[in-house]
Copies of this chain bind each other. A is one copy, B any other.
Amino acid sequence: MTATSRFEITERSKVKRLPERGHYDRALAYEILDQALICHVAISTAEGPLVLPMAYARMDDQLVLHGATASRLLQLTGTGQPISLCVTLLDGLVLARSVFHHSMNYRSVVVFGHARLIDDDREKARALDCLVEHLAPGQTGYARAPTAKELNATCVLAVPVTEVSVKRREGPPKDSKADYELDIWAGVVPLQTVTGKPEPDPLVRADTPLPEHIGRY
């Protein structure tokens, strides 16, 4: 199956508010999905919607999620309930001349769909590798690999990246015309997620060096 380079726009994936911020381009969606670290997953329950943060990774044209086999969210979604996932990168505070035009620069991807439980062992192992490599590149070849028992205790779901909205705001504030005359500073304060100095587990063996790949994070 070859994925299309543009997503088909559906009633629910169509960006209705500020449509100029809406995009349906697969390459842009993948750039955002590959850069962000966590997603927020929503499901509908009898008592109302539930939203939770989760690790995720892109595996080809799917997003994969994992959790304990006993997890409520994964049990619910694995039965084919509709699901919605959102990944958001916050790029800046947009400070306008007017309070009204304050905004944020961001890039977000919303995926609508159904989750499929991955039960094939090889596919599951590959999905777990994707999850670890997404957050901690190089660790699948370095840390101890999962045992059969550990794999059984883990539940992995796949959601196709098919019905998707991408939203992006970038650049300086857009003020009302008359406000450009005001003696008020306006601009963007960039935001970024950064890594700090690795903190060794106090129980790590004294002769174990920090591997080069972790030093590069």
Contact = CB atoms under 8 A, between A and B. Distances in A.
Contact of A208 (B16, B90, B184): B184
A122 interface: no
A48 B83 contact: yes
A205 interface: yes
Contact of A50 (B12, B45, B173, B186): B12
Interface in A20-64: 37-38, 40-45, 47-53, 55
A192 interface: yes
Contacts of A72: 16-17
Specify how many copies of this chain sit in the oligomer.
Answer: 2
A87 to B, nearest CB: 9
Given A17-B72, A189-B198, A195-B191, A83 B49 contact: yes
Task: Tell which of A95, A102, A140, A197 has the most Cβ of chain B within 10 Å.
Answer: A95
Interface residues of A, number: 97
B146 A100 contact: yes
Interface string A82-101: 11111010101101111110
A84 B146 contact: no
A159 to B, nearest CB: 12
A188 interface: yes
